[in-house]
């Protein structure tokens, strides 16, 4: 067997219910490549091109069986949204050379997948295949769904966005700006703050150096917060609750500050939720899955696609090359090292 017959796979090696994940959670191995001769009916042999790297994967590594996403199985490849090129297919609708979106792409060089799980991307997209895990990827769609269905933005309102230089935040900042809102972004380094300003935020600050959160928010948005797009939870969310206007909407997308607490007792306790009553506010989690295939997805592709084609949408990408480096890309999400949408080029 020549080395070209081997593929690289990233397996789940152990679970970490609490605390920060480490390289020990993963195992990178070599394995024989699947061949087209082994395909059964309606199966497709794909070569993965790009894999999305997202914070919610932390939950799959917790080992919990009651989580909102199934856990990764130990000694099996981990998986996430990806884009692949078809090498062989036994299905009538899909042919060699097609570029396809793979909802649960295994983190391995090549995979055999069922044709029914794939979505064919427009022909001629080989050159911009990466766009489908980045600017048109799941985090972007999450930004659009959260902003439009929960945020319900109105021109002239003020929106606060945390993790504003991240995969979701960058899109929220730019869509909100395009819709005429005043945008305040928060990020975890001066470089990130600069990016957030450069993509259109009216104000931005570094939460690591801003001093008291409540005061920093008040200074950046003395008019109060109408929409908070929350990616972090915890103390920053609590401080925002102290600054919301009547009728505020809190779009709850993630709580990355709370993913790696060492025990449930260490979780931050929110003290200002009474403002949800007094300000008749809404605090709602995003359900993105049900909007795939709905008119909302068409609206997303139209609005984001138009801005992108016109050069009015910038999207910073943090690209890692090689599956063997993919575990580190996951870890980088949780210590502030990643900058922009994280993606692995297989």
Where do contacts with its own copies occur on this chain (CB under 8 A)? Answer: 59, 67-68, 233, 237, 246-247, 252-255, 258, 264, 267-274, 276-287
Whichever of 171 and 241 has its CB closer to its own copies, that residue is 241
Task: Give yes or no for a contact between 44 and 94, defined as CB atoms under 8 angstroms apart.
Answer: yes
Q: Residue 180: count other Cβ atoms within 10 Å of its Cβ.
A: 11
For residues 11-23, one letter each, b for 16 or more C-beta atoms within 10 angstroms of the residue's C-beta and e for the rest, the string is bbbeeeeeeebee
Task: Give yes or no for a contact between 119 and 86, defined as CB atoms under 8 angstroms apart.
Answer: no
> Minimum distance from CB of 272 to its own copies (Å)?
8
Fill in the DSSP letter of residue 17.
Answer: S
Whichever of 59 and 336 has its CB closer to its own copies, that residue is 59
- CA 64 – CA 264 distance, rounded (Å): 13
Whichever of 65 and 278 has its CB closer to its own copies, that residue is 278
Q: Residue 299: count other Cβ atoms within 10 Å of its Cβ.
A: 14
> Minimum distance from CB of 287 to its own copies (Å)?
4
Sign of CA dihedral 214, 216, 221, 223: positive
Whichever of 143 and 286 has its CB closer to its own copies, that residue is 286
Whichever of 155 and 277 has its CB closer to its own copies, that residue is 277
Task: Give yes or no for a contact between 151 and 162, defined as CB atoms under 8 angstroms apart.
Answer: no
> Minimum distance from CB of 332 to its own copies (Å)?
21
> Minimum distance from CB of 234 to its own copies (Å)?
9
Whichever of 279 and 316 has its CB closer to its own copies, that residue is 279
Tokens of 261: 């607490």
- CA 66 – CA 62 distance, rounded (Å): 10
Written in H, E and C, the secondary structure of 108-153 is ECEEEEEHHHCEECCCCCCCCHHHHHCCCCHHHHHHHHHHHHHHCC
> Minimum distance from CB of 238 to its own copies (Å)?
8
Whichever of 114 and 280 has its CB closer to its own copies, that residue is 280
> Minimum distance from CB of 158 to its own copies (Å)?
18
Look up tokens 């809404």; give the residue: 282
> Minimum distance from CB of 116 to its own copies (Å)?
24
Tokens of 173: 């900042």
> Minimum distance from CB of 253 to its own copies (Å)?
7
- CA 252 – CA 225 distance, rounded (Å): 15
Whichever of 126 and 287 has its CB closer to its own copies, that residue is 287
């Amino acid at each position: 067997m020549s080395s070209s017959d081997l593929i690289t796979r990233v397996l789940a090696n152990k679970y970490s219910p609490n605390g920060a994940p480490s390289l020990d959670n993963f195992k990178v191995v070599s394995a024989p490549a699947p061949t087209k001769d082994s395909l059964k009916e309606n199966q497709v042999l794909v070569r993965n091109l790009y894999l999305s790297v997202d914070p919610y994967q932390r939950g799959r590594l917790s080992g919990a069986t009651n989580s909102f996403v199934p856990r990764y199985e130990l000694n099996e490849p981990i998986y996430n949204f990806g884009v692949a090129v078809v090498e062989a297919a036994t299905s009538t609708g899909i042919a060699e050379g097609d570029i396809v979106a793979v909802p649960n792409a295994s983190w391995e060089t090549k995979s055999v997948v069922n044709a029914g799980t794939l979505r064919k991307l427009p022909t001629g997209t080989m050159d911009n295949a990466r766009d489908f895990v980045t600017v048109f990827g799941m985090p972007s769609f999450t930004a659009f769904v959260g902003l439009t269905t929960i945020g319900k933005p109105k021109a002239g309102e003020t929106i606060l966005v945390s993790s504003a230089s991240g995969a979701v935040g960058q899109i929220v900042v730019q869509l909100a700006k395009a819709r005429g809102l005043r945008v305040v972004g928060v990020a975890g380094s001066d470089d990130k703050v600069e990016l957030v300003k450069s993509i259109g935020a009216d104000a931005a600050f570094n939460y690591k150096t801003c001093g008291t959160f409540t005061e920093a928010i008040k200074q950046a948005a003395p008019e109060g917060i109408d929409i908070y797009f929350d990616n972090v939870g915890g103390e920053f969310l609590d401080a925002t609750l102290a600054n919301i206007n009547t009728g505020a909407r809190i779009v709850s997308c993630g709580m990355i500050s709370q993913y790696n607490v060492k025990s449930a007792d260490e979780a931050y306790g929110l003290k200002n939720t009474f403002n949800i009553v007094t300000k008749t506010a809404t605090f709602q989690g995003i359900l993105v899955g049900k909007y795939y295939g709905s008119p909302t997805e068409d609206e997303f592709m139209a609005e984001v696609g138009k801005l992108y084609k016109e050069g009015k949408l910038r999207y910073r990408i943090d690209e890692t090359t090689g599956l063997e480096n993919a575990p580190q890309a996951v870890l980088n999400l949780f210590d502030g090292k990643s900058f922009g949408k994280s993606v692995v080029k297989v």
